[in-house]
Amino acid sequence: MEILLFTDIVIIFGLAVAVLLLFHFLRLPAVVGLLLTGILAGPYGFGLIKAVHEVEVLAEIGVILLLFTIGIEFSFKKLIEIKKQVLIGGTVQVGLTILAVFFIARQIGLSSQEAIFYGFLISLSSTAIVIRMIQERAEVDTPHGRAGLGILLFQDVIIVPMILITPMLAGNKPGEIDSDIFVFAAKGIAIIGLVLAAAKWLMPWLLHQVARTRSKELFMLSVVAICLTIAWVTSNVGLSLALGAFIAGLIISESEYSHQALGNILPFRNVFTSFFFVSIGMLLDTRFLVNYSLIILTASAGVLILKATIASSAAILLGLPLRSGILAGLSICQVGEFSFILSRIGVEHGLLADHYQFFLAVAILTMAATPFIIYLAPRFADSILQIPIPAKLKTGLWPRPEKKIHKKLKQHLVIIGFGLNGRNIAHAAKMTGIPYIVIEMSPDTVKREREKGEPIFYGDAIHEEVLRHAGIEDATVVVIAINDPAATRGITESVRRLTRSAHVIVRTRYLMEMQALYELGANEVIPEEFETSVEIFSRVLAKYLIPRDEIDKLVIQLRSDGYEMFRNLSREPTSFSSLDLHLPGVEVSSMRVEEGSPVVGMSLLELELRKKYGVTVLAVRRDSQTFTNPEVDMPFLVDDVLYVVGVPEKLAETGKMLRKRKDG
């Protein structure tokens, strides 16, 4: 069986790559390509897949990971912020859809029980498709995105009582159902209480201990284990696996490690959700679709129009402007993935046995149409606004209270790594008023610096989600100052992939790393060994009494030529090579006038240092002031520092004179 599943996975991946590549060139949505992959590979297509059930299991893992990532991105705080959309919008949308479908189903001759069950199926929308689409279009925080997401969350919760009610619709004894509901409610309340407690006390401590190990593998496994464990626990008390995964994501979202967790889980989510869409396509009987194409297309269009109208009305009742309401309604007008789960229960209890393929065909067509509908929705909404409609409806049925908008960083500095270099850069940015944010991999450092008020968060900047949280798209400068050469290259590549405008400065240890970093998109690369060489070279030249301005010019030239001088020893000598680099036998020294020295109160004119010792005083530093070329009548005071030049022997004699006179 293991080999059979492995073969099927290879077939799915290979076929999906070919189909998605074709869809990319045709500019068609990837979701539709995955559905087509399932249709082609499934038992009603070319019959390439044998382990259908095992693929469905992988698909369910995809739904779990999808809801988990949604929970991470959508914290308890955000959930509270859209409680109105969840409770009012969700209730109106689901309730009106069930009533409308019930009425239509009764008119075409279905029983009351079947009509209610069809209402359940049609009322649910596709969280997987809608979330994926609005995330790609960066519309999660828009009014219509928040309204749609709130309604979807209500649907994800209401699926649980729908599953419990379905057997009752099929004729089970009401008393048994009432007992089941009571037990379910008690278990649900208990598990949610435990989850909330874990979110507040257990999870932050556990993730902190894991993060301290600096092991990426351990952190990733811990995140996956948390997701699957909570999903399993909630499933055992009657909640859905997907809802448990969503709750697990909410728990993670309350910790400072949420963005790192999201970055780790996204690749797995994308792979497994692809299995979900493929598995849905595999269920469709293409012969049934062809034979009844007209009625299926008519029913699909009817479902889309009905759900869009009801969902738009629910969004408008929430106070959204007409345009936002239309966009919200059109985004959730399809049949959802949880409807497939519910449909299987309906088949088991005889509520859908004769119409299962019809339901699958309609559901898949509405899901396949969703990306096109969302893409065209803004144009459709704008055209509706051209119709003479009351201004009150266009702007919203009632004034909505202004929400406090969190100020996003703009034109800021992103510092990756908070070692010595990162700290110095942050300090300089703070002193000059430059807005900045820091990404750091040490949880202890993050915790300590955050308590001090530093704008710092935990994360591995190689993940794009972590960089997005730092507002990388709006950053003016990005400084990468970490010690890991491989990670530095990966982060540089990720930064440049997300933003073309930011000026990327990379610190590395070795000159040999420079070329690769430039090719990956860095604007400036500063190798530590070069800067050390420059500092040493500058001090050598200063010791040889090369003028400061000449040293500065040489350093500027070294940096401007890309450090070629230090990398290429065969380079031709520069114009500086003609300098006389030393004055034989001459030194520059600094000496302090001690208390009790005979020179205290005497001037240069009185001491005659140049005449008697051949020593010249270049400057005198007194307290915080420096007097260059001091006047000849300037008296020396205790603790004055004299900068003098002369031969070593004469300097030694002068030093003795400046020291405290011994008694005797």
10-residue stretch averages of pLDDT, the chain, 664 residues long: 71 90 81 85 82 73 75 66 75 92 90 90 87 74 80 79 78 53 66 70 79 81 83 73 76 74 74 79 85 92 94 87 88 86 81 84 89 89 83 65 55 89 86 88 85 87 85 90 85 90 86 84 81 71 66 70 50 46 65 85 85 84 82 87 83 80 53
Helix (H) or strand (E) holding 404: none
Q: For position 405, what pLDDT does the model report? A: 41
Nearest to 332 by CA among 85, 24, 105, 82: 85
Q: For position 385, what pLDDT does the model report? A: 82
Residues 6+ apart with CB under 8 A from 39: 45, 281, 282, 284, 286
Q: For position 613, what pLDDT does the model report? A: 81
pTM recorded for the entire structure: 0.59
**Helix 143-169 to helix 241-253 angle, to the nearest 10 degrees?**
150
Please say whether the beta carbons of 230 and 247 come within 8 A: yes
Cα atoms in the Cβ-side hemisphere of radius 13 Å centred on 374: 29
Separation between Cα atoms, residue 426 and residue 660, nearest integer Å: 46
Nearest to 82 by CA among 319, 380, 423, 356: 319
| Region of residue 458 (phi > 0: left; psi between -120 and 50: alpha; otherwise: beta) | beta
* Domains along the chain with CATH numbers: 52-392 (1.20.1530.20), 413-522 (3.40.50.720), 530-578 (no CATH), 587-658 (3.30.70.1450)
Q: For position 575, what pLDDT does the model report? A: 46
